[in-house]
Amino acid sequence: MAISWRVLAGRIPTWLRDHDPGLAATRRAARTALVMPALFALCSQVLDSSTMATFAAFGSFSMLLLVEFTGPMVQRLRAHVGLAVAWAVLICLGTLVARTTWLAVTVMVLVGFLVLFSGVVSSVLAGATTALLLAFILPVTSPAPLAQLPDRLAGAGLAAAAAMLAISLLWPRPAADPLSAPAARVCRAAAAQLRTDASWLAGGPDAPTSRQCEVTAGQAATAAADLRTAFDAMLYRPTGLSSGSRALVRLVDELTWLSAIVADSGPPLEDRRDCDADAHAVRRAAATALDEAADILDAPRNPPDALRAALVNLRKAMDGMELRATHRLPVHEPKPGTESEVRAFLETLDLSFRAQELGFATLQIAGNVDLAAAAERRSWPEQLLGTEPGALTQPLASAVERAAAHLEPRSVWLHNSLRGALGLGVAVALADATSVQHSFWVLLGTLSVLRSNALNTGQNALRALGGTLVGSLIGTGLLQLIGHHSTVLWFLLPVAVLVAGIAPAAISFAAGQAAFTVTLVILFNIGQDPDWHIVLLRIEDIALGCAVSVLVGLFFWPRGAAAAVDRALSAAYTESARYLAGAVEYAASRCSIGCVPTDAPVEAGRQAAAAARRLDDAFRSYLAERGAKPVRLSDMTTLVTGIVGLRLASDAVLELWQRNGGEEGERRIEPDRSEARLTLLDTVGRLADWYHGLAAGLGRHTPVPDPLSRNPDEEARLVDSLRRDLRDDDGHATATAVRIIWTADHLNAARRLQPSLAAAAKPSDPA
């Protein structure tokens, strides 16, 4: 028997690490199992106040098990102070309105909406949503004289004080963000691949082998896959929240896209191309910048000077490559006569374009890393209100602006907030009408199973009822075995709390519901004769709450995130295609001196970014929904990442022409560049039309257009125009010629996205 116990004791930690990554749930559960029973015993047995005991128990359960703030310890303690103040306000409000049914229902709807919707402002508020709702649900479902308010506040205050001591002294949480480490690994793996590929292309006795190139490429792909897996598995995904959170969201998508670019730009291992020293220099500078970005991700409070210096060097390397690329274009040769000759001309700058694309993506990624680190260095009030680092607007104005952006009919966050608030309001009314004992059980049932669509709400309702039934049977059996020895319940309470904290993450939602039911059964029978009849009444209460959730889910946006993500994808591709067209129109006006330059499409860029943020909200809700998905997760990820690629191509074109808007030397000759300009506009017109067709197909569930193929005639016209019109007095190509080719390359990159997007958009078997 002793050996069996030792074997079991050795297997439990392994099982926990496998089912609870990072032991996050175990950490929260262990703290709660120590603090909650101790506070309950102090208030009920020593201070002899059942009211204080109830609020201390549920307050500690909420503040320790349902909340886990991130960041340095000082920030976490400040967040807990803010949570304690919010609990005090909500307890006072709930106590004041609880005795009048219509007022309780109305205020429940308002409080529920404000709490749920406030998560759009910052990750601090989003992570505390359930804890804040319980602070109001508990008093509003327990009408009592105002004379009990001091005891209620005292119980919650004890819970808050104990929670702050527990998080700082009992198994403190690591300060690092859960996405930072895998993102840093992607940066380092991509940097290693860039250096290896550059060394292989440069050749020489110390050059790596093709096998080494393959190994580093595999490591970079694995790191990118691990990052995406870590992001998809997060309990509270950062979405539409604070500056740092949004920067991390963009970073995940951009690193996924960077990995695709790095993989696509890897050298053909069967032969070496002509050496392009400038392109290799850009790759190495990008690798250095990625390494510095990884260091900042590992230690965000370190000074960003090294990262910013690396970005300056990367920019210089890109500028030098662009300047010297003019000597690589063979514009002095005769006009090509075949498609292969046209393609060979355009591919002359292929290595430099790949390096330019990689460099620009690295600049974007490093900028987001710098922004995320700056967000970590903000004051706590600025973090609470989600203030942009270095923003000129006041913190409150920034929060109001962000919230107002989601007050529009397509916002998934708005839908979920309204659905949750109405469900809780109906539950309060139903609990009062049926006069159930401990009516907060009804609201707990409503809150625990309400999801973003009717199907998943129904599935969770069945799981909640099943878990409650199993927990009730276990609780009934325990009470029957214990009989009048209620002291045993004190020893069982910490074990029940521990299991209730671990089970939802490590086993299942139903297991967590069963364990939570057992915990409450024990809690309500401590200090009195055990009564198993109370257990049976809890099943009725939970059933009422589940019924409310199902009905509300059926009447309010029953299709949930699946429908919202389709609409968001459609809008994001529409806006991104419009942005790409605007960027190329701007480029075309700059490359033709006789043409009046157009304004940069800044507003189109803002609209595309806003549509991408709404898509991100919908996609995170889609990931959070349990059950079968109407679209395979891999296909949905491909469609979402395609938006990143399309927007980065637009950003790159715009930045390319804004940074170099025409040289004085080119203004002297003033050649006719209309052919090149019209070719770019024709190409982007066809591309934009295709993406608009994709958007329409995604929004209406209709077939999407077939991917576009390369157009040899357009390429020949472009090459002919470049040879004829874009040479300087010495017969070399001008910098404008290089930028035109790179613009065409960015458009070609957007075209190469189409086959994978078209395949992902086709109907498939649900995952």
Residue 461 lies in a domain: no
pLDDT for the residue 380: 56
What is d(CA 767, CA 759) in angstroms, rounded to the nearest whole number?
Answer: 16
Beta bridge partners of 733: 727
pLDDT for the residue 582: 92
**In this structure, are 162 and 225 located in the same domain?**
no
DSSP for residue 179: T
Structural domain containing residue 648? 568-761
To the nearest whole number, what is the mean pLDDT of the chain? 76
Closest CA to 540 of 421, 426, 445: 445
**In this structure, are 185 and 146 located in the same domain?**
no
Q: How many CB atoms lie within 10 A of CB 162?
A: 22
Max mean pLDDT range (1-15, 378-392, 700-714): 700-714
What is d(CA 463, CA 384) in angstroms, rounded to the nearest whole number?
Answer: 35
The predicted model gives 249-271 an average pLDDT of 70
Query: What is the band of 396 on the pLDDT scale with cuts at 50, 70, 90?
Result: low
Query: What is the band of 8 on the pLDDT scale with cuts at 50, 70, 90?
Result: low
**In this structure, are 634 and 747 located in the same domain?**
yes
**In this structure, are 116 and 148 located in the same domain?**
yes
Q: What angle do CA 128, 79, 251 make, to 5 degrees?
A: 70
**In this structure, are 159 and 202 located in the same domain?**
no
DSSP for residue 44: I
**In this structure, are 189 and 171 located in the same domain?**
no
Residue 549 lies in a domain: no
**In this structure, are 234 and 351 located in the same domain?**
yes
The predicted model gives 40-61 an average pLDDT of 90
DSSP H helical ranges for 526-662: 533-555, 560-591, 602-624, 633-659
Those residues whose C-beta lies under 8 Å from the C-beta of residue 18, and which sit 6 or more positions away, are none
CA-to-CA dists, residue 327 to 304, 513, 733, angstroms:
36, 70, 7
Give the percent of the chain with pLDDT over 70: 68
**In this structure, are 165 and 192 located in the same domain?**
no
Q: How many CB atoms lie within 10 A of CB 379?
A: 11
**In this structure, are 142 and 164 located in the same domain?**
yes
Worst-scoring range by mean pLDDT, 225-229, 234-238, 299-303, 685-689?
A: 234-238
Query: What is the band of 698 on the pLDDT scale with cuts at 50, 70, 90?
Result: confident
Query: What is the band of 346 on the pLDDT scale with cuts at 50, 70, 90?
Result: low
DSSP for residue 510: H
Residue where one domain finishes, among candidates 355, 376, 397? 376
Residue 202 lies in a domain: yes
pLDDT at 242 over 70: no
Using N-to-C axis directions, what is the helix angle for 129-140 and 50-65, rounded to 10°?
A: 160
Residue where one domain finishes, among candidates 376, 393, 419? 376
DSSP H helical ranges for 98-148: 101-118, 123-127, 129-140
Residue 283 lies in a domain: yes
What is d(CA 80, CA 89) in angstroms, rounded to the nearest whole number?
Answer: 14
**In this structure, are 724 and 598 located in the same domain?**
yes
Dump pLDDT digits (tens) for 745-764. 888 888 888 888 888 887 65
Worst-scoring range by mean pLDDT, 31-45, 299-313, 504-518?
A: 504-518
pLDDT at 20 over 90: no
pLDDT for the residue 455: 43
pLDDT at 4 over 70: no
Closest CA to 447 of 468, 432, 461: 461
Residue 714 lies in a domain: yes
Closest CA to 691 of 600, 589, 597, 611: 611
Closest CA to 618 of 573, 658, 669, 565: 565
Residue 586 lies in a domain: yes
**Token digits for 585?**
């129109």
**In this structure, are 165 and 230 located in the same domain?**
no
Residue 256 lies in a domain: yes
Residue where one domain finishes, among candidates 376, 404, 437? 376
What is d(CA 492, CA 444) in angstroms, rounded to the nearest whole number?
Answer: 23
- The total number of structural domains that make up the chain: 3
pLDDT for the residue 1: 43
Consecutive H or E run containing 434:
helix 412-434
According to the 3-state scheme, what is the secondary structure of 684-706?
Answer: HHHHHHHHHHHHHHHHHCCCCCC
pLDDT for the residue 589: 81
CATH code at position 190: 1.20.58
Residue 134 lies in a domain: yes
**In this structure, are 155 and 199 located in the same domain?**
no
CA-to-CA dists, residue 299 to 154, 176, 188, 248, 448, angstroms:
39, 8, 15, 15, 37
Task: Yes or no: say if 380 and 78 are a contact pair by the CB < 8 Å rule.
Answer: yes
pLDDT for the residue 60: 92
